[in-house]
């Protein structure tokens, strides 16, 4: 039994957890950003898929993974704009609009794979993102294994969480955004353009979530596969709630979910593993348990999911 624990809980497991957490954390921070502005972002799953597909397709065409990352950002912003059209302009139910976007992107990416590559399974292999190593950290024994060599988007995630926290909680722009999520009437009264700010926030959130998709396709792997997000968008939503709509809390929650995922992968390498189906459900089971407990204790933005009348918002489109 002790040998099994030694195999499961080792530095390589933590390294894998950091890598696996990146798509979830980026999507969770995207959820934090948009929901602080009052828009429920169920569509994170679709944004991950859009980012992953765009990243692989453009890399396949150009051979340059960095252009693929830029394409992922553009695709995520486009999906964010689509959510804004439904949730803000057409005043659709935010949850229904988000679920619809998830279904749309799952079907669209599967169809595009079949049209372009003649496959509904996986795309051809493309050039992945390079591995970066930090000069000072790579010489420190434990840290070298943990954070010494990763795809660039892993390091971007670790920097993005504290930077986004500063923007949200220590700048006037963040105060205005949070004010819209708490009391849009008061924000409008002092001249803050509610809908314009929400659209801009959804564009930024779409870009963040799509970067998670790019990491999934070009950082972890080097291809796109059908439904490759595999529920990570919903994990991100749970991480956002568990993290109390705080980007650093979202990152920590994503690391917890990813650690469970890394552990279940390690368990499957043991000589006599538990039933595969039972092991694979561990990350999702943790997500459900965490979300069910977090919802009772959490306090979401007061105006989350509410529609603000377009004729009342300063600068409304």
C-alpha 77/C-alpha 34 separation (Å) is 12
Backbone angles phi, psi at 129, to 5 degrees: -65, 150
CATH topology of domain 2-126+156-297: ABC transporter involved in vitamin B12 uptake, BtuC (1.10.3470)
* Domain-wise residue ranges, the chain: 2-126+156-297
Apex 151 CA angle, 217 and 226, nearest 5:
10
- Count of CA atoms in the C-beta half-sphere (13 A) of 259: 10
What is the pLDDT at residue 12? 74
Nearest to 129 by CA among 17, 256, 19, 229: 19
Q: Which residues of the chain have pLDDT under 70?
A: 1-10, 136-148, 268-279, 290-297, 310-317
The per-residue pLDDT for 223 is 92
Please name which of 129, 106, 4 lies closest in space to residue 50, comparing C-alpha atoms: 106
Q: In whole angstroms, what is the distance from residue 261 CA to residue 283 CA? A: 5
How many Å apart are CA 257 and CA 11, to the nearest integer?
Answer: 17
Q: What is the pTM for the complete model shown?
A: 0.88
Residue 220 confidence (pLDDT): 81
Each residue of 86-97: pLDDT tens digit? 999 999 999 999
Please report the pLDDT score of residue 292 as a whole number: 67
Question: What does the pLDDT read at residue 145?
Answer: 65
Cβ proximity of 105 and 49 under 8 Å:
yes
Q: How far apart are CA 186 and CA 175, in angstroms?
A: 12
């Amino acid at each position: 039994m002790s040998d099994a624990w030694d195999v499961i809980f080792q530095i390589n497991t933590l390294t894998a957890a950091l890598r696996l957490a990146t798509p979830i954390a980026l999507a969770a921070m995207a959820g934090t950003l948009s929901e602080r502005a009052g828009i429920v972002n169920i569509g994170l799953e679709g944004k991950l898929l859009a980012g992953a597909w765009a990243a692989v397709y453009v890399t396949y065409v150009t051979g340059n993974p960095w252009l693929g990352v830029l394409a992922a950002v553009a695709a995520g912003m486009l999906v964010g704009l689509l959510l804004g059209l439904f949730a803000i302009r057409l005043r659709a139910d935010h949850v229904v609009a988000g679920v619809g976007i998830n279904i749309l992107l799952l079907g669209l990416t599967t169809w595009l794979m079949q049209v372009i590559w003649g496959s509904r399974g996986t795309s051809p292999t493309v050039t992945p993102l390079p591995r970066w190593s930090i000069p000072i950290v790579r010489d420190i024994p434990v840290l070298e294994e943990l954070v010494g060599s990763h795809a660039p988007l892993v390091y971007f995630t670790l920097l993005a969480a504290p930077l986004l926290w500063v923007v949200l909680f220590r700048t006037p722009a963040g105060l205005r955004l949070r004010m819209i999520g708490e009391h849009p009437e008061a924000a409008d009264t002092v001249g803050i353009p509610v809908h314009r700010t929400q659209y801009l926030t959804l564009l930024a959130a779409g870009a963040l979530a799509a970067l998670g998709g790019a990491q999934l396709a070009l950082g972890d792997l080097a291809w796109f596969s059908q439904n490759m997000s595999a529920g990570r968008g919903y994990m991100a939503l749970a991480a956002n709630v568990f993290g109390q709509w705080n980007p650093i809390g979202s990152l920590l929650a994503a690391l917890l979910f990813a650690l469970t995922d890394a552990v279940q992968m390690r368990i499957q390498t043991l000589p006599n593993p538990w039933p595969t189906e039972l092991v694979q459900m561990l990350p999702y089971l943790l997500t459900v348990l965490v979300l069910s407990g977090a919802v009772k204790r959490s306090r979401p933005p007061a105006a989350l999911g509410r529609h603000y009348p377009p004729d009342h918002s300063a600068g409304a489109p």
